[in-house]
Structure 1
Amino acid sequence: MGGGGGGRGGRVSGGDFAAQRKLNEAAPKVERLGGRIAELFQPYKGPLAAIIVLVLFSAALGIMPPLITQRVFDDGLFPVAGGGPNMPVLAWLVGIMILVFLVSALLGIVQTYFTARVGNRVMGDLRVKLFSHLQSMELGFFTRTKTGIIQSRLQNDVGGVSNVLTNTVSNVIGNTVTVIAAAVAMILLSWKLTIIAVILMPVLVIAQRRVGQVRARIAGKTQESLSEMSAITQEALSVSGVLLAKTYSRQTAETERYANENTTQVSLQVKQAMSGQVFFALVNVFLSAVPAIVYLVSGWLIVRATGQGLDAGITAGTIVAFTTIQSRLLFPLMALMRVALDLQTSSALFARIFEYIDLKPQIVDKPGASQPTEEPGLAGRIEFDDVVFAYPDAGPDDRPTIDHVSFVIEPGEFVAFVGASGSGKTTIGSLIPRLYDVSGGAVRYGEDDVRDLGQEALMDRIGVVTQEPYLFHASISDNLRYAKPDATDEELAAAAKLANIHETIDSFAEGYDTIVGERGYRLSGGEKQRIAIARVLLKNPRVLVLDEATSALDTVNERIVQRALDDAREGRTTIAIAHRLSTVEGADRIFVLGAGRILEQGTHSELLALGGSYAELYAQQT
């Protein structure tokens, strides 16, 4: 119902969401990204504490094997120069080493379980939070944004940060502790060799930051391309999209459109895969070369000390332990660099996710929003009091879609709004359930401004039947129960009978369990519309808004559906937005709209006698 009145409902690309940002200047920019990511883990402090303890134990155990290796060489294999191994000591040391490996493996399994559990729950919470926030956005947001782009944020963007959410905490803590412990152990073994091992580290850190910035830019472009591909897929491979392509022989063009975006995506994926490869190759060369340099420097120090009659303090066990621990330092440092790169790369994805979460819904409940009036004579009463409305993307020089309109619809009254396309009649139907907020004046339910009422409570009292009813790819009963999940089979049948569709459903082989197909494609237009009417009747609203409910049907189905609508109006305030005047001839009052204003009002016969706009419309149709 958001598209009428001046044609403001057309979809646009929505790639940068500029229109929404103009509406939402109060939305904060994506700042403190690390802090916001950390906030996602707040509900899981207990499991996080367990992960930290496990990581600390694992890191500590990881340093023990190299230190034990030193004792294996110096006390077990070569306890005395020229002597044989000390087998009891050697057996004891080997047993301790095996035990350390076993405990480390068990801790790794437990740590992986907790890490995967916390990370995936955080990712699930983020996905639900984003979905819930999107549900709270006003209708106008969805008329400005492609569905495929919204789906991409939920699937591709959230999925793209899964590795960061599931592995970052354990990687950062574990590798940091390992690096610190390894550095201390290396200094204790030989501070001279330690300087040689870490002298180039600052250069690598600076290079890593530069590579991360490049990867982040490429990641952002990659996700934008994925969003566009999702949008193309959603549009072109829906039932309606495929039908349109076939009837206009546009399958080749649609394939080319997808292929062009796919080419862009492939190119970006290659760039993303290759970015930083030179950096990592240099790091690997450095990691491989350092042990060799340590051997060379160790030999030089021993020769120099021996020539001076001194003890260099470097034994075979020291060299073996040092090079082993050095790998325990360099590889965790490498892992930390990769984590930093992942964070920088994922920052673009987190920014896109938080960009949506930061969007402020334009229609929200006021604090302490009240319940609609239910007093006799007021329940179901609708009033427009000098209402002015312009769509949010309207220019300053555009005329309002609704321009100072006032009227009152009494409970139980049947009124109709007619007029040429763009006259504002559909917009009036959207303002009644507060799908949009007025720019000026007020819309009232009973005596209450709808902006003072809770949205859910207001919508419980208003039912809408649109020109194109939406049915889920589910059974008829599931589609009906969308209005009332706890409805009994008897209530379903009663609503279906009122909508003149029960006998048709009964004639199906699977009855109410019949699967209707995507958007109800397995049903005729009249059947879909009557099921939609039954769904509204199951809701049992005080006010029924019929937005061009029969305009897309053939004459036979129109008559069948019209009979169902006549029954549905019983005891309800009914507002019909009509193009076919024959469907509203029996209305208590008919409002004729033009350029957002009420031009005429009266009964069918009164308006014909007036000989104005309504009479002209009627003459054109008959």
Structure 2
Amino acid sequence: MAKTGGPGTGPTLPRFDKNSVTGQQVKPGTLRRVVPYAMRYRWSLAMLLLVTVIDAGIAATSPLLLKAIIDDGIIPRRLATVLWLAGTICVLAVVDAVALYVQSWFSGRIGEGLVFDLRTKVFRHVQEQPLAFFTRAQTGSLVSRLNTDIVGARQALATLLSQSVSTLMTLVLVLGSMFFLSWQITVAALVMIPIFFAPAKMVGRRLQRLTRERMQLDAEMGSMMNERFNVSGAMLAKLYGRPDQESGLFERLAGRIRDITVLSAVYGRLLFITATVLTALTTALVYGLGGYLAVHDGLQIGTLAAMVALLLRLYGPINQLTTMQVNVMTALVSFDRVFEILDLKPLIAERPDARVLPAAEDEAAPEVEFDLVSFRYPGADEVSIASLESVSARAPEGADNPLTLQELSFVAPAGKLTALVGSSGAGKTTITQLVPRLYDPTSGTVRVGGHDIRDLTLQSLRETVGVVTQDSHLFHDTLRANLLYAHPDATEREVIEACTAARIWDSISALPDGLDTVVGDRGYRLSGGEKQRIALARLLLKAPPIVVLDEATAHLDSESEAAIQRALKTALAGRTSLVIAHRLSTIRDADQILVIDAGRIRERGTHDELLAAGGFYADLYHTQFAQKDSVDAELRSEVR
């Protein structure tokens, strides 16, 4: 997470452990894991290999034709031979151009197919992660894995496929031709080859470390932009007036990325320069040795010219091998980072024999039962990846999360309203998150309609449970799209009826674009109360048998809350409801009230029963109303 310095200091770079990032090595077997993805395109691979072989054959054949033109055509003055061989070279050039075009097409098809497969698989896998994963992962880092890293993975595969086979085939054919023409010159040229690979090995390791650090910094910068460019982040930055510090932090991130990019370019250029110098030296060696052989041993001029041409075709592939080694080593970092996501096992997994939650008889709502349920939130080692979260947000090594719920047992009767009350942090929200199986209990069982929810398909369970949270999220889309997210097949009339029941239709119909109004990032074009009523309308449109309301009326004024309470009383009739409420006046009519304290049920009963008992609930109720009376009296005094 970004951090600014103390007084008089500038902002500092995000505090991830640079040494741990740059020191990581690509895991063994990473390349082997790519093979199943590539084999999905086996026919395209076969065509790619075919045109690659054709290209390599032409590359090795052209110098031999040059030799024939000189030795068999020009020197003996046979014009017909020269013209015929020149025409053959033209035809081969056209064939080679077509082969290169086809090669590019199939390489792109395979590479982009790989991007699609990996991107969709990572997206689905991330969706399966528990909520604790998203509380730790930086959004920008996740987006970076889906975009930058997967594109880098495509480049690795494209490099491996389009260059490796072509390069190896060209090397074999060219060396065969060179040995056929002059084994002495060929051996002299081969002596220089090991010199090419020494700098490549050194530079490759350095580039791999730089690539991993750059990817991490790209993710950090993406996270910063994602946090600052949404409405909440922009508002916070403006209200606290820190534009210089924000710009300074961004400049330092971008500056480090710039420096790494420059270093990478310099190392890449170093390889090119080394290859160029060695090629020039070897060419000079071939000319010198070839000239000597031509003078003393009768080496033909055409053979010497062909050897020089073949030499260029030899060191071209060798240079490609060195750069390909570097490219693959650095680009495999992308695969490694993508597989880090795919290797994270989801804590909430559907069993192979999971069954659909059966509908209750007479369409009655199912009951919800907690049987000796204990729960602790998962630790960082269970749900997080170090490079996806800020160092400062990580739990200390060996930290053990305490139990949030402790052997909790209760039944929310079918078709009845059960209210959960208690102080902040008592475990109320955790209870509501266990019902739709956003988390699994550490021990004990949660049942819906008598069925252990771990035996049910996630889709059928979540179709049965509808939730409205205190801070309901709206997508940057139209009101219609946000409402239909709960029920895509709903008719216009059903949408209007849900909005009317949630007391929001009058506000929507007054807008120029009505239901087609775009709500803005996270719904910030709407007031808090309007957002909450849209969320309630979305719930009513879904019409689930089980309803969970987590302070669903918290953002409403008294008049709107009263109207929503009347709407909910009708809408929730016959449904099993779990409602969290801090304002106890809203749950007086609850069929059952559970008072939660430190993860346990401290009291249970109806409103009247709990008041008569004079316990914790009664104290909480009287304190709340005493505070309200005190505030009202103070306001009346100020008005006077």
TM-score by length of 2: 0.88
The 2-side partners of 1:482 and 1:375 are apart by 25
Amino acid at match of 1:156: T
Indicate whether 1:440 and 2:437 are aligned: no
Count of matched residue pairs: 586
- Secondary structure (helix, strand or coil) at the match of 2:603 reads strand
Indicate whether 1:369 and 2:354 are aligned: yes
In structure 2, relative to structure 1, the CA distance for the partners of 1:56 and 1:616 (3 Å cut) is: same
The answer for the alignment partner of 2:37 in structure 1 is: 40
Amino acid at match of 1:218: L
2:569 to 566, 571, 578: 566
The 1-side partners of 2:299 and 2:400 are apart by 85
Indicate whether 1:336 and 2:321 are aligned: yes
- Secondary structure (helix, strand or coil) at the match of 2:525 reads coil
The 2-side partners of 1:120 and 1:518 are apart by 31
Amino acid at match of 1:32: G
The 2-side partners of 1:349 and 1:106 are apart by 32
Indicate whether 1:95 and 2:87 are aligned: yes
The answer for the alignment partner of 2:255 in structure 1 is: 263
Q: Unmatched 5+ residue regions in structure 1?
A: 1-12, 17-28, 80-84, 307-311
Query: Offset at 1:259?
Result: 2.1
Equivalent pair of 2:271/2:323 in contact (CA under 8 Å):
no
- Secondary structure (helix, strand or coil) at the match of 1:508 reads coil
Query: Offset at 1:47?
Result: 0.9
- Secondary structure (helix, strand or coil) at the match of 1:41 reads helix
Equivalent positions of 1:204-223 (< 5 A) are 204-223=196-215
Amino acid at match of 1:598: I
Amino acid at match of 2:33: R
The 2-side partners of 1:520 and 1:279 are apart by 52
Equivalent positions of 1:517-532 (< 5 A) are 517-532=520-535
The 2-side partners of 1:273 and 1:198 are apart by 29
Equivalent pair of 2:551/2:580 in contact (CA under 8 Å):
yes
Equivalent positions of 1:403-414 (< 5 A) are 403-414=406-417
1:247 to 215, 239, 252: 239
- Secondary structure (helix, strand or coil) at the match of 2:406 reads strand
The 2-side partners of 1:30 and 1:456 are apart by 35
The 1-side partners of 2:602 and 2:28 are apart by 52
The answer for the alignment partner of 1:309 in structure 2 is: none
The 1-side partners of 2:118 and 2:401 are apart by 40
Indicate whether 1:61 and 2:91 are aligned: no
Identity fraction in percent: 39
The answer for the alignment partner of 2:69 in structure 1 is: 72
The 2-side partners of 1:480 and 1:104 are apart by 57
The 2-side partners of 1:552 and 1:375 are apart by 34
* 264-273 or 469-478, which deviates more: 264-273
- Secondary structure (helix, strand or coil) at the match of 1:363 reads coil
Query: Offset at 1:398?
Result: 5.0
The 2-side partners of 1:334 and 1:396 are apart by 51
Query: Offset at 1:317?
Result: 0.5
1:52 to 43, 49, 53: 49
Q: Unmatched 5+ residue regions in structure 2?
A: 1-13, 18-25, 380-394, 626-640
Equivalent pair of 1:14/1:146 in contact (CA under 8 Å):
no
The 1-side partners of 2:357 and 2:53 are apart by 58
Indicate whether 1:427 and 2:430 are aligned: yes
1:6-48 per-position Cα deviation (integer Å, ceiling 9, x unaligned): xxxxxxx9969xxxxxxxxxxxx94311111222111111111
The 1-side partners of 2:349 and 2:15 are apart by 23
- Secondary structure (helix, strand or coil) at the match of 1:487 reads coil
- Secondary structure (helix, strand or coil) at the match of 1:434 reads coil
Equivalent positions of 1:199-598 (< 5 A) are 199-303=191-295, 306=296, 312-376=297-361, 379-393=365-379, 399-598=402-601
Amino acid at match of 2:578: I
The 1-side partners of 2:586 and 2:242 are apart by 37
The 2-side partners of 1:567 and 1:526 are apart by 20
- Secondary structure (helix, strand or coil) at the match of 1:275 reads helix
- Secondary structure (helix, strand or coil) at the match of 2:344 reads coil
The 2-side partners of 1:446 and 1:74 are apart by 92
* 491-500 or 105-114, which deviates more: 491-500
Equivalent pair of 1:14/1:144 in contact (CA under 8 Å):
no
Query: Offset at 1:300?
Result: 2.4
The 1-side partners of 2:571 and 2:343 are apart by 41
The 1-side partners of 2:475 and 2:247 are apart by 27
Amino acid at match of 2:470: Q
Amino acid at match of 1:229: M
The 1-side partners of 2:304 and 2:428 are apart by 86
- Secondary structure (helix, strand or coil) at the match of 2:374 reads strand
The 2-side partners of 1:194 and 1:119 are apart by 37
Measured on the aligned residues, the alpha-carbon RMSD in Å equals: 1.9
- Secondary structure (helix, strand or coil) at the match of 2:357 reads coil
Equivalent pair of 2:532/2:555 in contact (CA under 8 Å):
no
Amino acid at match of 1:388: S
Equivalent pair of 2:356/2:460 in contact (CA under 8 Å):
yes
The 1-side partners of 2:28 and 2:539 are apart by 44
Amino acid at match of 1:60: G
Amino acid at match of 2:374: V
Query: Offset at 1:160?
Result: 2.4
1:134-183 per-position Cα deviation (integer Å, ceiling 9, x unaligned): 11112221112121111111112112233223342021111111111111
The 2-side partners of 1:604 and 1:252 are apart by 54
Query: Offset at 1:375?
Result: 3.1
The answer for the alignment partner of 1:118 in structure 2 is: 110
